[in-house]
Amino acid sequence: MIYSVSGTLVHLEPGVAVVECGGVGFKCLTSMNTQRKLPNIGGQVKLYTKLNVREDAMDLFGFATLAELSCFTMLTAVSGVGPRVGLAILSELAPEQVALAVASGDSKALTRASGVGAKLAQRIALELKDKVKKMGVAADGGSPVSPAGVMSAAGNAANAVSALAVLGYTPSEAASVVAKFDSSLPTEELIRLSLREMGSKL
């Protein structure tokens, strides 16, 4: 409903940023990762948003990048993961770290977030990994499916494609971007470079 808000940052507190647009202040619930990227009070800011409607409240969540928004959307689609838990995870881990943890089956990394125990972390990793497989990506580091055949299957590049799928990118677009970089780079670096590349085209 509300894709993004752009305006002046008028208030900031842990977990909350208020952006004034056209005389209206939008209270956005944010992760600590997003807050670290915000300007000082009075600065101009753009947040990508997701509106969560409940019976007793309407909450607007704001993120500094589309990658973080996509990661939040994927996380909160997992049973047992509400918006607060999604923010807690993204306050501890960057989107590429969440994606890498899921793609590699490292559920322990997710337990760094407040409110995420071992069982919930395992459920997140399993459910998101299953989603990735259904999209046509081998989330165990095997060969990614790329209809255009734009890249070879191996190693870090395959893991990067799997991780990008966790963030909501299609296998073909993820593979075509990852293929532009040196596949010998660490997986997390490939993810970061690919996100930057895809973000520059928005």
The answer to whether 83 and 52 have CB atoms below 8 angstroms apart is yes
Distance of alpha carbon 197 from alpha carbon 67, whole angstroms: 12
CA geometry: angle at 58 spanning 53 and 60, to 5°? 100
Give Cα separations from 53 to 24, 58, 83, 172, 177 (angstroms): 20, 5, 11, 33, 35
pLDDT, one tens digit per residue, over 102-125 is 877 889 999 999 999 999 999 998
Note the pLDDT of residue 17. 97
Nearest alpha-carbon partner for 129 in 76, 165, 177, 93: 165
Nearest alpha-carbon partner for 178 in 83, 91, 103, 74: 103
Distance of alpha carbon 97 from alpha carbon 109, whole angstroms: 9
Give the range among 98-102, 134-138, 143-147, 179-183 with minimum mean pLDDT: 143-147
Distance of alpha carbon 157 from alpha carbon 142, whole angstroms: 10
31 confidence band (pLDDT: 50, 70, 90): very high
Question: Which CATH code of 1.10.10.2160, 2.40.50.140, 2.60.40.1120, 3.40.50.150 fits the domain covering 4-64?
Answer: 2.40.50.140
The answer to whether 185 and 157 have CB atoms below 8 angstroms apart is no
Comparing 154 with 64, the larger pLDDT belongs to 64
The answer to whether 75 and 85 have CB atoms below 8 angstroms apart is yes
Nearest alpha-carbon partner for 123 in 77, 191, 68: 77
**Phi and psi, residue 53, nearest 5°:** -105, 125
pLDDT, one tens digit per residue, over 67-101 is 899 889 989 999 889 999 999 999 999 888 888 88
Report the number of secondary-structure helices (H) and strands (E) in the chain. Answer: 8, 5
Instruction: Report the topology of domain 67-199.
Output: DNA polymerase; domain 1 (1.10.150)
Where does the chain hold its CATH 2.40.50.140 domain(s)? 4-64
Give Cα separations from 172 to 59, 135, 144, 169 (angstroms): 34, 10, 9, 8
